[in-house]
Amino acid sequence: MLDQDCIKFLQLCLPKLGYQWEGFHRVRRQVCKRIQKRLVALDLPDCSYYYSYLEKNAEEWKILDSFCYITISRFYRDRKVFEILQHQILPLLAQNAFKESRVKIRSWSVGCCSGEEPYTLQILWHLDLLPKLSKQLQLKIVATEQRSDLISRAKRGQYPQSSLKDLPKIFQEEAFIQSESKYILKNYFKTDVRFLKQDIRQQLPDGSFDLILCRNLVFTYFQQDLQLKLLEQFIKKLRPNGFFVLGANESLKQSDNFLEPYLNLVEKSIYQRKKTEC
């Protein structure tokens, strides 16, 4: 299958699934490989035949949708974001929790893949934040992911060295046990992470959150109307003064006056919910 043929096919099909082509431009080869394997499995010569097959078999759209799920994740991905979380946002959330006499902070990791993001938060919390606090405070994380195989991998907590390449060495040494070529996360970093199988387009976790991380998913791959619909739901889930974190190359085109950029960062990837709603 030629690259150009796959591009035309994706440009035709992605909007029907609620995706935007712009988000897939750089990662299209990952999707095209999956489609090529499907063509072989169905004994179809090219994408035009596959499109005809889709038109006649409605269930096949679900399979194509699964091919469009991009799985690029690692610990401490986007170093600057995690440094801000570690040194500014998590301490501020702890301070707010103590003021309100709360014993826990709630965070939601959207599209958590194999658990790298929520576990990075727990590593920062246990190894850097918690020792500095005068009282006990829990960081409870709900991590949602639509693929069962990725949730199973996350629960195992075993990773190749490449998944840890961005994580500072001191955290690698404290949080993992090396066994041959695998790095095994110590169990106490898993305790307060709850994994749920959910598709963000259809289901959201219960309750409100102090911190929501929705990075490199909704605001990269989804169409504008779906982005706005989900943003409204995210805002409802976010506590006043809570933080909403996007991917390093993402930003909000509209925030309904409920969110404002945090610290006026150039990237505009971190937002805080205003205490008083306009």
Q: What is the pLDDT of residues 168-200, one digit of tens each?
A: 999 999 999 999 889 999 999 999 999 999 999
Domain final position from 37, 67, 97: 67
Q: Is residue 278, in this structure, part of any structural domain at all?
A: no
Same-domain pairing of 190 and 215:
yes
Judge if 135 and 240 occupy the same domain.
yes
- Specify if 74 maps to a domain: no
C-alpha pair distances (Å), 1 with each of 7, 22, 51, 76: 10, 21, 14, 36
Check pLDDT > 60 for residue 124. yes
Mark which of 40, 67, 94 sits at the end of a domain: 67
pLDDT score recorded for residue 207: 96
| pLDDT for 267 | 62
Reference 143, options 214, 219, 74; nearest CA is 214
pLDDT of residue 265: 60
**Is a pLDDT exceeding 50 seen at residue 277?**
no
Backbone angles phi, psi at 244, to 5 degrees: -120, 120
Lowest mean pLDDT among 57-66, 224-233, 249-258: 249-258
140-to-63, 74, 187, 201 alpha-carbon distances in Å: 33, 20, 15, 23
* pLDDT of residue 253 exceeding 80: no
In a domain, 23, yes or no: yes
Tell me: pLDDT of 154 over 70: yes
95 and 170 part of one domain: yes
Domain containing residue 166: CATH number: 3.40.50.150
Answer yes or no: are the C-beta atoms of 134 and 91 closer than 8 Å.
no
Give the mean pLDDT of the chain.
93
Residue 89 pLDDT grade (very low, low, confident, very high; cuts 50, 70, 90)? very high
Q: Are residues 63 and 89 in the same domain?
A: no
- pLDDT per residue over 27-74, tens digit each? 999 999 999 999 999 999 999 999 999 999 999 999 999 999 988 889
Answer yes or no: is pLDDT of 278 > 60. Answer: no
73 found inside a domain: no
112 and 211 fall within a common domain: yes
Number of independent structural domains in the chain: 2
Residues 138 and 105 in one domain: yes
Note the pLDDT of residue 244.
96
Domain that holds residue 223: 79-273
